[in-house]
Each structure stands twice: as structure tokens, then as C-alpha cells.
Structure 1
């Protein structure tokens, strides 16, 4: 069809100049018929069709009226809708051969087909020539189609010069389409410049044009441009058009100004599911879980039905031990209201249950999935690792290899797999997966060092660090120090802690680690020296605290805390438990780890903040209810041993989550196997 050479195309243009192009006088046999015949169509493999494919179309063409442009356009549209792009071009060829004149609706459809073909630029230029000769080059439908075609197949700036700069009747649609093409090509600054040119040209600004410019400011994270565009929206009465409001909301969120985003959200007279989802997602992403949950409840109260994206946005807020109940409530709401749960939502539910301490429910949901993707598998692998079930996690790694053999894991997924191997202390499996990573990052190296150190393979770990020249990375040294702590490698641990302090001299946590190391070895003069150094350098170690939920309220405890209204009962319960532990010979030795610079050693006898939270959980619940506690620091050895003993004394499960893992204390044992 479109096999014209440039010389032939020029000649065709001349012929167009010499002939009338009205529909009634369009010739049945003309140059286009001669030059765009089936011989030339077959010579172009990109647009050629097999004769067998064309026979039904030929029959249809024979039955169609030669002057019925609407019928030809309908046929072209049907092929375009079914993405049969070659038939679109062939039908256009037949339309021309039979003397039917294209109209302003024909050319945009043909150009849309050309845009979807590999190597369709030459064909598109010929159709552009047809548009010029037929007098449609200034038609807005045609201009938009030409912009889309050139923007996709050629150069956007060239498209602007060819079309917009030469068109006397350019409107907001054309400007906006070009701006969107700039955004699609990753050139948001040019999209904003184009919007300002549009303003200067006097073109009418609509909500779509404004929303496009705002999205460009969001991509640039330019709060300055965003505020200017917000002012323009306000001046032109477009601020509260839902499309503009949602674009402003996202722009403020992407620019890091959640206060402006919330102010705009609260002022919106009408909000759709996108508005609610954006603000909920923003709060959850920044750690404002409680506010995110409140907004989600308000959205439902206002009569909006959550969609998969809004559900996936709120579930991470429930992926915490204290939000276990809310997560179950949301799951129940989805089931009761028969809301569609696609794989993304199901994966988010599994992740929520795993991270909120309900690994059994997560495992059950995973087993019931009819279709699993790589996220399904790795969410469950990480879940098992967090809960000290490394063997199950490694088994899933093997299953993942068998089930999704064609899928290549990304960097994040490999990190989850390495954590599973570390949790199970599977050395060979860990080496196997590490060697499959094409470009390991520091996190992968640290996980491998941790795997070796936790298995007491310190010589191999040190050799691995030297060979890969990663000794100057704090993350790697911390992984090595963990192994030293578990296996009581005093000399090596002291050297590593000192290296950390030299590497990051202003990181208070490194001095805390070194202080704790001295405390473990009874060197109290050095412990006091470290504490004085931390205070003298005005460093601020992270305060240790634990929290627990009871009757829809979160209760927070610090080391030696006496501010809670039920403190007397909490300490009394702890004293009783300590006495029972002593009677049964289970009371562990005191651990003088530094959790707060100003803490008193006297509080160590009844434990740190996690012990206060556990005691509160025991006196606030009845029967065999599980006690669920979260702590922002790693649990110390004294509290770990105490929790094991308490679970045996009271006959209840205690789940304690620290930054690295879940500890399930049951019948005097812990799921971590005392490796944490």
C-alpha cells in the first residue's frame, strides 16, 4: 500500500494539486490507485497481508457503496478497535482505490494504526501528505493524531515544528497532547514551559491542560511551579474541578508537603476514590498509620466503595503487631461486601498478616491462592524468615525456582531469599543465591556476611569482606558484629565495634554497641566512660520503648516507666513472675545493655520496656489470649530469657517483634532458636 518512494510522493502531491478533491468528483482510478496498489503493498513486509487474510475483506469491499465514507470509516474503526492494524491500512488503500474521499474522521484512525506499527514513520509521513492535500492539516482531530504519531515514532520537538508552529488554529487539546508527550518522554520541564507558552498565546486553558502541567511539576518535585499552577487554577475557577484537585493533591504529596496536600483535600467540595486513595497512601507511606486508618474509615462512611488500589494502600498500615485487629476488620469488610480482590490485594493481605504476627493466617491464604506471582512467593518467604521459620522459607525458595523458572528475581527479592537462608542458617543455599545476583549491592553483601557470621564461620566471613573490599561499609560491620554477639567472640567484636565508631564518629548507636560490649564483659569503668562520651558529644541515641494494644488503645512503655496508670499492678505482676522464675531456677542473669543514656541499673531487675509491656498484656487480658508486643530496639538477652520463662509459667504465647524479627515465646522456647 504505502510503498511510495519520495519522488513518487512528490509527484502524487502535484497530482493532488491539479485535481478536485470533493467526494462527488473523487476519481475511481487515479494515481493513488496506481501507486498504492496491491503490488506495492506486498513489497512492504511491514504492512503486507497474506492473500488468505484479505479474501473476506475483498468480499466486503465489493459490497460497499463507493460514496459511503461513513461505512468505510466504521470498517476502519472496527479493525482499529481489534488492534488489526494492517487491515486498517489495507482498508484505507481500498477506500482510495475505489475513489472514496477520506474525511476528518478517517485520517486520525489511520494515523493511530500507523503509530502502533514498528517502522511506521514513513507511512505516517505519507498520510500526513494526504492530510495536507485534502485540506485537513489544520483540523484539530488530525493535528492531535499527527502529534501522537510523530511523538511516538519520531521526535517530539520535530512534531511541534511540523504541526503546532504551522497551525493557525491551535487549541488547548493540541498543546496539552504535546505536553503529555513531553512527560511521557521524561521531559517534564519542557511540558511546563509549553504550558506557559500556551498561556502567552491566549489559548483557552481547560482542566486537562492544567492537570497535565501540574503532573509535570510533580515529576520535577518543584513546589515552586506547583504553587504557581495552583494560583492559576484558583484564578481561573478550576481549583475544585476533580481532575485538577487530584493533580494538586498528588503534586503536593510528591513534593513532600503533606500539610498542603491535606489542606487541599479538606477544602475539596467533592472527592472521588482517587482523592481518598492518594491522601491515605501519603499518610501510610510517611508512617502516619493511625491517620491513614481514620481516613479509610471516613471514606467508607461517606459511601465510597474501596477499589483494589485503595485497599493495597491501607493494608501496610495494618502490617504491624498493634494493628492486627484493624487488618482483620478490613479483610472481613472485603469479604462481607464481596469486593473484588485481585492478586495485588491478596498479596497485600498475606503481607499484612505476616508482618502483624499472624503467620499461620498468611500461610493459609498463600496456600489457597489459585495463581501466584513472584511477589506472592517472596512475601511468604520473607514472612517465614521474620517468624524464625527459615527452613520453610528455604523450601519455598526451591519451590519458587520450580514454579517460576522463567522469572528472574530482582535485587529486592534476592535480599528476601538471602534473609531466609540466614534465618535457617543454610550456608550453601545462601552462597548459591548470592552467586546468581548479577550486580550485588551493599545490602546483599551484608546479608552474606551475616549468614556466615551467624554460623560462626568468622574466618570465611573476614575473607569474604576482604575479597569484596567492603570493610568500609557500616552495614557489613554490623552484620559481622551480630555474629560476634551471638557466639561471644569478644576480641573480634570489640575490634568491629571500634571500627564502626571510627567509620561513623557521629552515630550514637555505634557507641551504644561498644558500651554494650563492655557491659557484657563486666568492664564497668569503660561502660561509664562510653556513657560520658555520648553525653559529652551531645549525641542522641534512639530511645528504647515498647508498645502494646489493649481495647483499641496503644500503650507505650519506656525503660523504668512509672507513668502508666496501672504501673503498680504492672510491677507487682513482674515481681511475682521473677519470684516464680527464681524458685524454678529459670531466672536469667541481669543484662546491663545500654538502652537509654540516663537509665538506672536498678530497673534491670524487672527488665526493660518490653517486660513492662508484657506484664501489662498479661494483667489486661484473660484466659489463653496471645500477648503481642512491639519494640523499637533489639530485645536484650535478659528480657529474651525472661520472656521464654514467663511463657512457660503462664501457659500463654507471647509474640515480641523487634526491628529484625518476630519472637514467638511458647512453652519456654523461642521461635528464633536463640539466634537473633
Structure 2
């Protein structure tokens, strides 16, 4: 096809383009396109240039027109119905260039497009991203007398709104709308584009103007659009006002409006208002249930979220991938790992689409609930992985001490030079390198970060400290002026603990007490260090300092789930009904322990100094698991603080004696004790997993 210059250049603004058409008259002849190298085009149509608005669209040059025009010849030329139907069919199948060809043939055969033709071609231009072609069809709409038709105006606003933005859509709206009336569809579209363009306040202003005019019939779509704008600006006051308007117009019970209200209240952090709307809904769809359960889960209401999910299924609503990915975080805890497995089984039984988002959510759930083996299986079977997949799995490897798998994933990322690595993935990569002590790889990835943040600098210190490269770690800290950041000092302290660098460890602890004088855990570290070195006087002075400052370390608690009930234990806890058996079991096992090991762990010296070592909360929870569960089954315990070294050594010994796997999740990681070994490789990081 030969390109014919258009009435306005492609780069000209919309206002300039349209000014060309406002003063022109309707054409006396039908516009056509000029072809070249198409023998099928009748020669009588070539060279026709008597239409003032000519089409310029390079996309049509690639459209292959059939060698014979039998199909077009069979379509009636007396009306547009057949032509419009064929155009719509091509659009429905995503064949937009074919729709352009049909439109072109209409013009060639002298058939004037009507109010159904032009909106279809404008829609095809929007969907194909053909901005120049769509603008020229807009110009033709003036010649055909269709520029003010409501169908055409709506199509044009969508076209410009999606391809150029809200201001261009507004230009069309203002040029075509009547001053005394508001087209509710067009106005709603404009509100939507402003909201999408990050200008929700303008969207609300337009909605209020439409409301005050009194000439527009407010419908559910316009209300939903305004409600969405309230959610974007997180204005509970504006949202409640729109809710009131919805009640006045009798649309508050409309499911589209109700779902929009649900989301708006949740976006405004008003879970109670959202729940009131949800409970009053006579009809609920998958969107309603998903928004509500996601709101509860986001606020930490895991139990209520799971309850809603079960009710959703009971009410015959099939959860979609969004609902599944919203509820799975509620199962990302060891105490509710069974519910997570049940949801996974529900997915498989009911053939629910397990897209990438759902697969990532499943991997994350299994990792956080302590089942790294299931997470690894799902990850290995994923046909496609993204940055989120890598991030989740690498963090999982760090949490569970899966060094070999971490190294494999790191090599995949390292060799895939085209991978887009975001900040979260860099954090995960550096964390995995610290777990696996991959110094060279850590350096290589760190060098790719343009502007490392504090978290990434801290992780690099952790990599060096864990590898006993203390001189390099100190140089790194000095070069980047990181010495006054407690996170960095704790990373350095982690390496001191792993490699028993007592001198540097003491210096770091004293600095921590100086930089964070109100953090009780720093003084606990220092007390334990003095206790380890039998410096009882300084230990007592440190304890007195804490008392004088009113600092109280966190109490240690551990819990274990058994038969759908969570059993909680504190230090030297005697409140459990089976306390006698619990302590007897521990005493029996402790007789086989050869030696006691101590170090400077995060523990309350006041609370545990002088107490029986078997009185630590994690050991009580483990003992309860041993006497309550079947032989050979895995015991899963969670602790709110770090596992101390004494308990760590004891549980390793117990795992070998009873020949059972014991999993303890503490503040830093999952400790998988099996056959006298632990997956943490005795790192027990005080900083990162």
C-alpha cells in the first residue's frame, strides 16, 4: 500500500488534529485507500484521492487481502449489518488488521460507516495500539456526521484514555458533551482514566460535578468508580459519603457497588466497616469472599480468614487463583501447616488453575510452615519462574539451611545474565550466600548493585564475618561509614560467635550497648559473655545497670500444636497438666548428655541463671512432643526468641537418641535436628535468616 500523507502529522497533538475537522463539510464521495502491488484491487480504484481526509497507517501495508473478493462481494451493499458483523468477528478473535481491511473495503465499495461501524474500528485501533489510524478514523467521524454520537464518543474516550491519557479523553468529552447535561457513561469513563492516571481527586471532583448537575442518572458503575477513587486516596470520609449516596440511589446492595465498598474500606484500613458491608450482602460472589478473607489475613486474622474460606466453599463459590493466593499466607505457620496442605489438596482435586502466582504462594506457604521438602518439589516442577519465585526459594533455603539447593539456584541466576534482579532478590541472594558462605559469589552479586542499601551492606558484612574474613569486614565497614549502625555490628557479632572471636565480640557488644542503651538484649549478650568467661563481678554490675535502667529482657516462650490445640511453655513452666511426665522425660534424656555447652546467646540471664537447663521453654515443648506423638513422627516447635546454644546442643543429642526429626523455628531460622545434626550448621544468626 502506498503511504499517503495525512491531514496532520502523526506527532501532532489531539487538539491540532481535531481542529482540522470541525469546519469541514460532509464528503460528497466516500474516502478510499490507495493500493500498490495488489493485482486484486480493481484498477478503477487506484489513484482516487478526492477525499480530504486520507488514511495513513503503515500497519495496513502488511495486511494481505485475499486474491479474490468473493467474501466481500457477497456482503450486501445496501446496509452495514453484514460489514459490522464481520468487523466484530475479527475483533473478537484479536485479528485487528483484518478488521481494518474490512473497513477499508467498505469505503472502497461506497458504503458509509454508521454509528456501529466507527466505534468498532476505534476499538480495534485501541486494542492494537494504532494511535495514528484511530486519530484518522476520528477525523472521518466528523465527515460522516457521527462525531457527537454517544457510541462514538464513548469509543473515542476509551481510545484516547488508554493510549494518551485522561486529558486527551477529557478533550473529546468537553468537545462533544452538551453543556446542560452529563453523559453518565462518558463521565464515568473520564473518572476512571483520572483514577488510573494517579489523579483520583480529579476523578472525585468530576463525579461530584455530575452529581450536582442533577441531569445524570447515577448508576452502579459510576458509583464503583468513585468508590475506587476514595480507596486510592485512602479517604474514609469521602468513601462513607459515596456509600451514603449509594444508599440514597438504592444501589448499596448492588454487588458491584458492594464489592467496591469492601475494597475501599479495606484500603482505608477499616476492617470493621468492610465486615459490616460483607455481612449485609444478600448475594456474594468470589470477589466478595476473596476481598473479605484477604482483609482479615492482611490484618493478622488468620483464623477468621480460614473460617471465611471454608464458608466460601460451603456456599458453593469456587475459589479462583486470587482467593487461593490470598488465603495461603494464613497457613504459613507451623501450627496450621495441615490447613495449608488441605488447601493444596483442594486445588488438585478441583482442578483450580495453579498459575505462577498460586505456585509462588504455595512455595512460600510450605517454606514458612516448615515443610521445605514440599516447597522444593513444587519449585522443581514449575514450568516458568520469575523473580518472585527465585526470591521466595532463596530465602527459604537460607531459613532452612538448604545450602546445595541455594547454590544451584544462585548459579542459575548468575548464568542467566538477562534476569532482571530487583532489590528483594538481591537481599535473598546475599542472604543465601551468607548461609552457604559463598564469598566470591556474594562479592560478584554485590558489585552489581548500583546503590546498596543498609540491608544489603549488612548482608555483605555477614558474608565476610561468617567466613572469618574479619579484617575485610572491618575495612568494608570503615569505607562505607557503617560503624554506627547496630544491624551491621550484629552481623559482625554473628561471625565472632561462629568463629569464637571473643575479643572482637566483646568490643562489638560494648559498642551495641553504647549505640542502643535502651535495648535490653545487648546487655543480656554482654552478661552472658562475662558469665562464659567467669567474670562474675562485671556480670553482676551489668545486671545492676539493667535493673537501674528498668530494662527487662523479653520472656522466652515456646509452643507446639497437638490435636488442634496449641500448648505454650515458659521457662521452668509447671502449669501444664503433664508437667511431671515432661520433666521426667527430659531428665531421662539428660543423663545421656556428655557435656554442657554455653555461649553468649540472646537469653535472659536473670531468668535462666541458676535454673535447671531442662527448664528452658523449647526443651519443655520438645519433651511434650516426645511423650504425646507417635514414635518416628516429626516434632515441630516454635520459639519467640533465639534458641540458646545449650538447648541447641541438647536437642541435637535428643534427635539422635530418639531417632526423630525435631524442627524448632526461632527468631532467625528453622532448625532441622536430625541424627545429631542441625540444618543451621551452628550459625544461629542473630541478624538474618
Q: 1:81 aligns with which of 86, 92, 103?
A: 92
Greater shift in the superposed pair: 635-644 or 288-297: 288-297
Q: Is the 8 A contact 1:635 1:658 kept in 2?
A: yes
3-state SS in 2 of match to 1:629: strand
Q: Under a length normalisation based on structure 2, what TM-score does the superposition of the two structures give?
A: 0.87
Give a deviation string over 1:265-311, Cα, whole Å, max 9, x none: 22322221112222222222333222222222222222222222211
Give a deviation string over 1:36-93, Cα, whole Å, max 9, x none: 599x65xx4534414x712458554344332221122123223333444344344333
Whole-Å separation in 2 of the counterparts to 1:617 and 1:671:
20
Relative to structure 1, is the Cα distance of residues 97 and 630 closer, same or farther in structure 2, using a 3 angstrom cutoff? same
Shift of 1:550: 0.3
Whole-Å separation in 2 of the counterparts to 1:491 and 1:592:
13
Whole-Å separation in 1 of the counterparts to 2:274 and 2:534:
53
Q: Which residue of 1 aligns with 2:650?
A: 642
State the aligned residue count.
Answer: 659
Whole-Å separation in 2 of the counterparts to 1:567 and 1:607:
11
Q: Which residue of 1 aligns with 2:25?
A: 16
Q: 2:336 aligns with which of 313, 323, 333?
A: 323
Whole-Å separation in 2 of the counterparts to 1:271 and 1:310:
14
Shift of 1:627: 0.8
Greater shift in the superposed pair: 456-465 or 132-141: 132-141
Relative to structure 1, is the Cα distance of residues 494 and 58 closer, same or farther in structure 2, using a 3 angstrom cutoff? farther
Q: Which residue of 1 aligns with 2:113?
A: 102
Give a deviation string over 1:234-286, Cα, whole Å, max 9, x none: 33222222212221211222222223222322232222111222222222233
Shift of 1:18: 7.7
Relative to structure 1, is the Cα distance of residues 573 and 249 closer, same or farther in structure 2, using a 3 angstrom cutoff? same
Give a deviation string over 1:452-476, Cα, whole Å, max 9, x none: 1111111111111222333333322
1:660 matches 2:668: yes
Shift of 1:189: 1.6
Q: Which residue of 2 aligns with 1:24?
A: none
Shift of 1:126: 3.7
Matches within 5 A, 1:511-660: 511-538=523-550, 541-581=553-593, 585-586=594-595, 588-589=596-597, 595-596=603-604, 599-660=607-668
Q: Under a length normalisation based on structure 1, what TM-score does the superposition of the two structures give?
A: 0.89
Unaligned runs of 5+ in 1: 22-28
Shift of 1:489: 2.4
Q: 1:435 aligns with which of 444, 447, 455?
A: 447
3-state SS in 1 of match to 2:25: helix
Q: Is the 8 A contact 2:528 2:599 kept in 1?
A: no
Q: Is the 8 A contact 2:407 2:436 kept in 1?
A: yes
3-state SS in 2 of match to 1:53: coil
3-state SS in 1 of match to 2:630: coil
Q: Which residue of 2 aligns with 1:143?
A: 153
Relative to structure 1, is the Cα distance of residues 80 and 18 closer, same or farther in structure 2, using a 3 angstrom cutoff? closer
Q: Is the 8 A contact 1:164 1:174 kept in 2?
A: no
Q: 1:111 aligns with which of 108, 122, 134?
A: 122
CA RMSD of aligned residues (A): 3.2
3-state SS in 2 of match to 1:548: strand
Greater shift in the superposed pair: 334-343 or 198-207: 334-343
1:418 matches 2:430: yes
1:221 matches 2:229: no
Give a deviation string over 1:333-388, Cα, whole Å, max 9, x none: 22333333233323322332232222223323333344444444443333232221
Matches within 5 A, 1:458-477: 458-477=470-489
Whole-Å separation in 2 of the counterparts to 1:9 and 1:633:
69
Shift of 1:393: 1.1
Relative to structure 1, is the Cα distance of residues 398 and 17 closer, same or farther in structure 2, using a 3 angstrom cutoff? closer
Matches within 5 A, 1:166-185: 166-168=176-178, 169-185=181-197
Q: Which residue of 2 aligns with 1:61?
A: 72
Q: 2:249 aligns with which of 230, 236, 246?
A: 236
Give a deviation string over 1:186-243, Cα, whole Å, max 9, x none: 1112112221112112222111111111111212222222222222223322222221
Give a deviation string over 1:300-324, Cα, whole Å, max 9, x none: 2222222222112222222222222
3-state SS in 1 of match to 2:683: coil
Greater shift in the superposed pair: 63-72 or 591-600: 591-600
Whole-Å separation in 1 of the counterparts to 2:17 and 2:273:
60
1:152 matches 2:162: yes
